Structures are given as structure tokens and as C-alpha cells.
A = this chain, B = another copy of it.
Amino acid sequence: MTDDSRRDKDTRRQTPVTIIDIARMANVSKKTVSRVINESPLVREETREIVKQIIKETGFTPNPQARALAFRRSFLIGLVYDNPSPQYVVNMQRGILDALDETSFQLVLRPCDRADANYRERVESFVVQHKPFGLILTPSVSEDDELAEMLRERNCAYVRIASVEIDKPDLIIRTHDAQGAELAARHLAQLGHKRIGHIHGPNTFRSTHERLAGFTKGLADFGLTLDPDLTIEGAYTFDSGVQCATTLLHKQDRPTAIFAGNDEMAVGVYVAARKAGLQIPQDLSIVGFDDTPISSRIWPPMTTVRSPIRDVGRAAARRLIQVDGGSAAQPPGAFALELIVRESTEAL
């Protein structure tokens, strides 16, 4: 290939231009161009304008690999998750991608399995090797303090999505699971239900206890208490929902309503009810949690607590890349949960 043909080809490329070209064109050093790129205040306003103009005209974008090498930090945002609900995961991804759109950050997927004894080491070696700009942790891995501790030692930025204040405010995006569960409780109590079952998530999830606490509080407001005998631990999976509901529905004095810790399990309750020959909602009222698509597609459409997962993901990513000036302020009432009343609940 001759030099000429090379050049021809290069001009067709979108980024043949480097920081050196920009520096030459602007009559400054590459360091000054670098300062402009990185928004250093140590540049005269006039110089900055000139450089910016040339960057714009040439369509120059700094090479992320070169920056990563020099910065010792890449432009990857890792999503670390172990949530078994596909819908939760997809919504979270969408929110994060909303925030990363038009930036030079890329979303990298890091699923993990807390049952794996080496799970922290796997995250660690990703962090050490790829030096991600930051990590977004979702429940339940977000609740693992040892993991967070390791990230701090490794000097890796992170944001934890959690239902409790388990870290410094600017490292947490707080969800209000308790409040959502409380809404569910009040709704069922208002409908006149007294024997109410609850299938909660794994005890290893903090959100499980939050939701349980909120649900208990909501019932208490109506003078009701949650019968421990009607409170069962599920696994946030469909199958566990079927199984737990079957147990509940075969009790001597079966509940007239069941609140499940997420939609996946609530859908399992539907199946168990049908198998037990019970009509929904005439014989059994059901409330889920998350408002995933299945809740509106199933029959009868399910009453559930809407959790703004996508919004939460977007906020977490923004926090990490500091789009709003890095403000940690989470407006009060942010990510409020709401009860979506459909047709799976009915007055007793």
C-alpha cells in the first residue's frame, strides 16, 4: 500500500486525528489540548475557545484506550448483579444506558453468584485488570459490605443500590422498599382482609427485612398483626412462589390474601391458587412487588407495587459519572413507590 492510498483511506476514517493534530492546528502544546479535554480550569478562556472550536471542526474524539493507559483507569462502567429476575436486570440496564448515552462510557455486564465462594475474587480481578471507572452494585450483592470494602481498598468507585443506609450517602442510591410494602399492607387491610400471608425474599437480602418491616407497620396501622405462621421465605423465583403459596393455601385456616415480595413469586401464587381450585380475586387476593410487565399481562391483571427500577439505574449511573456536578442530593420523595391497583385484589 502506498503512502498516498493510506492517507486516502485514513481521511475516510472518523478519528485519524489525534491530540497532536489539534495541538498543531491550535498552536498550543498537546498538554493544553489535554487540559481542555479534561476540563481543567487552568486554561485561558480564549485558548480554550480556540481549541474547542478546532476539536469541533475536526470531529476529534480522544482515544479511550490511550486515555485509559495514561489515566490507569478505563471508561467502563460495570454492572454487578445477582438478581434472579430477568425483568429487573433489563430495567436496570436500560436506566444505566439512558445515562451513559452520548458519553464515552460503556456498560459492561458482570453477573455474579454469591453462592460461588470465589465471587468476590472474580469481581476483584475484573477491577484489577480492567480498572473500570466505576461499578454499580444492585441487591443483593450491593448489600455485601466485604465486597464494598474490597472496592474501597482497590480504589474503585462504586454506587450501591440498596433499601437501607449501609454506606455513605453519596455511595448509595436508596430505594424505599419499606414504604412500598406498607402501601400493600394498607390496601389489603382496607379491603377487610385479616388473615394475610406473606411470602418474602431470601433472608440474606436486606430488602426482605425492609419489606417485612414496612408490611408489618402498614398492618399495624389497622390494628392487624402478621401471623408468623403465614410468613414464609421464598427465593424471589417463580418456583419458590408456587411452592410457598401451596404451603400457605393448604393450611387449616388459609389466608384470604397473599403479599409476595416480588412479581415473580406472585405469579407463582397465581398458579398455586389455580391448582388449589381458588378463584382470584374472589377466593384469594394477591399483591406483587416491582410492576414488571408480567403483572399486567397475566390474568387477572395483578395489583402490585411499582418500583421505579429504570429511574434508579439512571440515577446510579449519573451519580457515578457525576453528570449533575456529582451532587449526592437525592431529592426527598425520589423513587417513591406506588401501588398499582389492578384486578387481583378484592374486598373480602
A316 within 8 A of B: no
| Complex partner residue of A109 from B14, B66, B97, B293, CB under 8 angstroms | B97
A124 within 8 A of B: yes
Taking a contact as CB atoms under 8 Å apart, the answer to whether A297 and B14 are in contact is no
Within 8 A of B (CB), among A103-119: 104, 106-109, 111
Chain B residue, CB-CB nearest to A121: B14
Taking a contact as CB atoms under 8 Å apart, the answer to whether A65 and B69 are in contact is yes
Expressed in whole angstroms, the Cα–Cα distance for A90 and B293 within the complex equals: 14
Chain B residue, CB-CB nearest to A67: B65
Taking a contact as CB atoms under 8 Å apart, the answer to whether B104 and A106 are in contact is no
Q: Mark A2-43, 1 if CB is under 8 A from B, else 0.
A: 000000000001110000000000000000000000000000
Chain B residue, CB-CB nearest to A106: B108
Taking a contact as CB atoms under 8 Å apart, the answer to whether B131 and A76 are in contact is no
Given contacts A294-B297, A297-B271, contact A14 B125 (CB under 8 A): yes
Closest approach, in angstroms, between the C-beta of A170 and any C-beta of chain B? 25
A332 within 8 A of B: no
Taking a contact as CB atoms under 8 Å apart, the answer to whether A267 and B297 are in contact is yes
A325 within 8 A of B: no
Taking a contact as CB atoms under 8 Å apart, the answer to whether B13 and A128 are in contact is yes
A274 within 8 A of B: yes
Task: List residues of chain B with CB within 8 A of the CB of A293.
Answer: 86, 238
A129 within 8 A of B: yes
How many chain A residues sit at the interface, stated as a range, is 35 or more
Closest approach, in angstroms, between the C-beta of A102 and any C-beta of chain B? 9
Closest approach, in angstroms, between the C-beta of A266 and any C-beta of chain B? 10
Taking a contact as CB atoms under 8 Å apart, the answer to whether A128 and B238 are in contact is no
Task: List residues of chain B with CB within 8 A of the CB of A268.
Answer: 297
Taking a contact as CB atoms under 8 Å apart, the answer to whether B267 and A128 are in contact is no
Residues of chain A touching chain B, judged by Cβ–Cβ distance below 8 Å, are 13-15, 61, 63-66, 68-69, 74, 76, 86-87, 89-90, 93-94, 97, 104, 106-109, 111, 124-125, 128-131, 238, 267-268, 270-271, 274, 293-294, 297-299
Q: Could you list 18 further interchain pairs (A-B, Cβ under 8 angstroms) beyond the known A14-B124, A65-B65?
A: A13-B128, A14-B128, A15-B129, A61-B129, A64-B74, A64-B129, A65-B68, A66-B69, A76-B106, A86-B90, A86-B293, A94-B111, A97-B109, A106-B130, A107-B109, A238-B297, A294-B294, A299-B299
Could you give 26 example pairs across A and B, Cβ below 8 Å?
Answer: A14-B125, A14-B129, A61-B125, A61-B129, A63-B69, A64-B74, A64-B129, A65-B65, A65-B68, A65-B74, A66-B69, A68-B68, A76-B106, A89-B90, A97-B109, A97-B111, A106-B108, A106-B109, A107-B108, A107-B109, A108-B108, A238-B293, A238-B297, A270-B297, A298-B298, A298-B299
